[in-house]
Structure 1
Amino acid sequence: MRYKSGYKEQKRQELLDISGQLAKKNGFNATGVDGFMKAAGVTSGAFYSHFSSKNDLFKALIENELQHSIQMWQDNPHDEPSQWIDFELNRYLALSHVEQPDRGCALPSLASEIARSDDEIKQAYQNELIRGQKIFLKYLDSEETAWAVMCQLVGTILMARSVTDTDLKRTLLESSKKSIKALIAYSATE
């Protein structure tokens, strides 16, 4: 059967997007190839026409997910640094991001699995993470502050997802916003 030009690339992207949502919600290692393919509406046999192994899928998924995050940061409508960071704090540190991991950033959901992965996966993650950090650096003017803000954002979402009380989730989100703003203000005076 012949497919239209670009069909395979389009199907691969669909598989990555759906697999990313499932992995962020349930965990990558907890979901088998059959589970990913079932969610995508294709047979498990179709998996191997797109990926050589589950590890290959994980690497591609990480790159895809982090590229989505990078694109969101690049699409931030503000150029002025304080407006840019306020926009990102409000977007990232939102209750909806806590409660819908399948729709959010892969970092809080998958970082612990990445940490237990092989060096090829870690390198793919590192490459995209550094690309993202450069965007933060552009607006924060300090390498250390950019890394610290990214770490605090991810850690806050992870902690907020780990508690049941909605008021506590909101407290974690708001206290982190204040802490990040204080860090940025302090860094600007150094």
Structure 2
Amino acid sequence: MRYKPGYKEAKRKELLKLSGQLAKQHGFSATGVDAFMKEAGVTSGAFYSHFSSKNELFKALVEAELEQSLAMWRANPNDSADAWIDFELERYLGLNHLKRAGKGCALPALASEIARADDEIKQVYQDRLLEGHTLFRKYLGSDEKAWAVMSQLVGAITLARAMADEAQQIAVLEACKSTVKDYLRLAKMAG
């Protein structure tokens, strides 16, 4: 069967998007190829016309998901460092992000699986994470602050998502927001 030009690439992007949502909700390792393809509305046989293995899917998914996070950080409409970080704290540590794991950042959802992946996948993860770090460093002024804030954001979402009580989830998110703001305010005063 002949497809229109660009069909295969568009279908691959759709497969990655839907697979990413499913993986972030249920875990990549715990989800079989059949489930990923069912979510995308294609047969498991169609999988192999896009990916040679589940590992290749994971690599492509990690790259696509982190590129999506980078695009969101780049789209932050603020120019000043304070406004940029305030926007990110509110967006990233919001209930919408917390409650919608499938639509959110891959870092809190997939980092532990990436840590058990092969070196090729870890390298893709590291490369994209370093791009994010560069962006945070631009607004925060140092490597140390960028790593600290990124780690706080991901850690807060990870902890809060694992809690059953929404009031406790909110307490974790709010504590992280205020602690990051205090840390940056004190660092600015000291610098």
TM over 0.5: yes
Aligned AA (1:150): M
Q: Could you give the per-residue CA deviations for residues 105-142 of structure 1, whole angstroms, max 9, x where no partner exists?
A: 00000000001111111111000000111110110001
1:107 aligned residue: 107
Verify: 1:127 aligned to 2:127, yes or no: yes
Aligned AA (2:116): R
Verify: 1:150 aligned to 2:150, yes or no: yes
Q: Could you give the per-residue CA deviations for residues 29-67 of structure 1, whole angstroms, max 9, x where no partner exists?
A: 000000000000000000011111000000000000000
Aligned AA (1:134): T
The whole-number CA distance in structure 1 between the counterparts of 2:102 and 2:187 is 33
2:20 aligned residue: 20
TM-superposed CA distance for 1:104, in Å, is 0.4
TM-superposed CA distance for 1:98, in Å, is 1.3
TM-superposed CA distance for 1:183, in Å, is 1.4
Q: Could you give the per-residue CA deviations for residues 74-110 of structure 1, whole angstroms, max 9, x where no partner exists?
A: 0000001100000000000011211110010000000
Verify: 1:86 aligned to 2:86, yes or no: yes
Aligned AA (2:174): E
1:45 aligned residue: 45
Q: Could you give the per-residue CA deviations for residues 142-190 of structure 1, whole angstroms, max 9, x where no partner exists?
A: 1000011000000000000011111111110000001111111222223
Aligned AA (2:180): I
The whole-number CA distance in structure 2 between the counterparts of 1:12 and 1:53 is 14
TM-score, length of structure 1 as denominator length = 0.98
The whole-number CA distance in structure 2 between the counterparts of 1:103 and 1:11 is 19
Aligned AA (1:80): S
The whole-number CA distance in structure 2 between the counterparts of 1:34 and 1:23 is 13
1:177 aligned residue: 177
Q: Provide structure 2 residue ranges, at least 5 long, that are not aligned to the other structure.
A: none
Equivalent pairs, count: 190
Aligned AA (2:138): K
Percent of residue pairs identical: 61
The whole-number CA distance in structure 2 between the counterparts of 1:112 and 1:146 is 21
Could you say what secondary structure the match of 1:167 adopts?
Answer: helix
Q: Provide structure 1 residue ranges, at least 5 long, that are not aligned to the other structure.
A: none
1:97 aligned residue: 97
The whole-number CA distance in structure 2 between the counterparts of 1:93 and 1:63 is 23
The whole-number CA distance in structure 2 between the counterparts of 1:5 and 1:182 is 53
